[in-house]
Copies of this chain bind each other. A is one copy, B any other.
Amino acid sequence: MKALRVEKKRIAVRDIELPEAGQEALVRVLLSGICNTDIEITRGYAGFNGTIGHEFVGIVEDAPNGQLVGQRVVGEINAGCGDCELCRAGDPRHCPTRTVLGIVGRDGAHAEFLRLPLINLLPVPDRIADEHAVFAEPLAAACGIIERTPVNRDKNVAVIGDGKLGLLCAQVMALTGAPVLLIGKHPEKLRIAERRGIETATAKNAGLRKREFDLVVEASGSASAFSTAVGILRPRGVLVLKSTFHGTTEIDAATIVVDEISIIGSRCGRLAPALDLLKRGAIDVDSLISEEYPLRDGLIAMERASRKGVLKVFLRP
């Protein structure tokens, strides 16, 4: 089968052996989405070698006892050991020996087929189109913010980054009733948020609103976002970091101490609440779709996805 693979930072579409289900489920991928993390992996992030991709919708082709076979599914990307305290409590996201689809020790979704444990799969309601279902994983990541810090109408929220993750985060934050400001660079992307009633600003203009925000979500992956965020946070405000990117960031620790800021890392959310939002049509994902390529043109698609101004790029096997 065809798969988009990174090996020693070199990326190529290769023909590899079709995986077998074994004790897991074999999923035929209908559509996969390119995430910035895929691009960071080609730069060395996570040190991953293998098939990249972790956003997908597909059909279960094979599984132990035929479970879910024929069903359309999306999947949680963290596959735990099943045996540690965290896994037994039903949340493998921090299992110390987990694999992560297309990121850590497990081939990913930019391929004709993928494997995941049955427990990771969620059936997709019929009314959700493939092109929407494939957003379940990044939308879950946006919803994950609420797991890490309370958000409600009394919080003044800013989201930095008008890319696909930022646009999802801004929409999820706005659903809590909180007033939300999306800070970005691209008028046409900011307009997507504006159509949902979300206020927008450039970083320069937002920077004038010093100490105004209770919560700032960093979803731009830009090193300069950190100082923008600290400048507009009120004392004892909360900065949520959503972007995973390769390399280090310089911070002024004294400001964090003096203003008693909290910096909270947030990675994966759960897929069930995200599917629910998609079913209800509560999130505009259509506006986030830029382009679609056949899997064999994976390299072109990755190049396009890394261009400024391009939002979600799909691969269709």
Which A residues lie at the B interface, using CB under 8 A? 45, 94, 96, 148, 211, 226, 235-236, 241-267
Q: Is the CB of A256 within 8 A of B265?
A: yes
Closest Cβ of chain B: how far from A55's Cβ, in Å? 17
Q: Is the CB of A249 within 8 A of B246?
A: no
Q: Is the CB of B260 within 8 A of A262?
A: no
Besides A94-B236, A257-B267, A258-B265, 19 other CB < 8 A contacts?
A96-B211, A241-B253, A244-B253, A244-B254, A244-B257, A244-B258, A245-B253, A245-B254, A247-B252, A248-B250, A248-B252, A249-B250, A250-B250, A250-B251, A256-B265, A259-B265, A260-B264, A262-B265, A263-B264
Tallying the copies of this chain within the complex gives 2
**Partner of A259 from B94, B250, B252 at Cβ < 8 Å:** B94
Main secondary structure of the interface of A (DSSP, over half): mixed
Closest Cβ of chain B: how far from A173's Cβ, in Å? 18
Given contacts A94-B235, A245-B253, A254-B45, contact A263 B260 (CB under 8 A): no
Tell me, in angstroms, the Cα distance from A257 to B218 when the chains sit together: 11
Tell me, in angstroms, the Cα distance from A256 to B248 when the chains sit together: 11
Tell me, in angstroms, the Cα distance from A269 to B295 when the chains sit together: 58
- List 20 A-B residue pairs with CB atoms under 8 Å apart, sorted by A's residue number: A45-B254, A94-B235, A94-B259, A94-B260, A148-B260, A148-B262, A226-B253, A241-B256, A243-B257, A244-B254, A247-B252, A248-B250, A248-B253, A250-B250, A256-B265, A257-B265, A259-B265, A261-B265, A262-B262, A262-B264
Across the A-B interface, give the 3 residue pairs with the lowest CB-CB distance, nearest first.
A94-B235, A256-B265, A263-B263
Residue of B with least CB distance to A262: B264
Tell me, in angstroms, the Cα distance from A235 to B96 when the chains sit together: 9
Given contacts A94-B235, A236-B94, contact A263 B254 (CB under 8 A): no
Q: Is the CB of B242 within 8 A of A257?
A: yes
Q: Which B residues are in CB contact (< 8 Å) with A246?
A: 254
Q: Which B residues are in CB contact (< 8 Å) with A267?
A: 257-258, 260
Tell me, in angstroms, the Cα distance from A6 to B99 when the chains sit together: 55
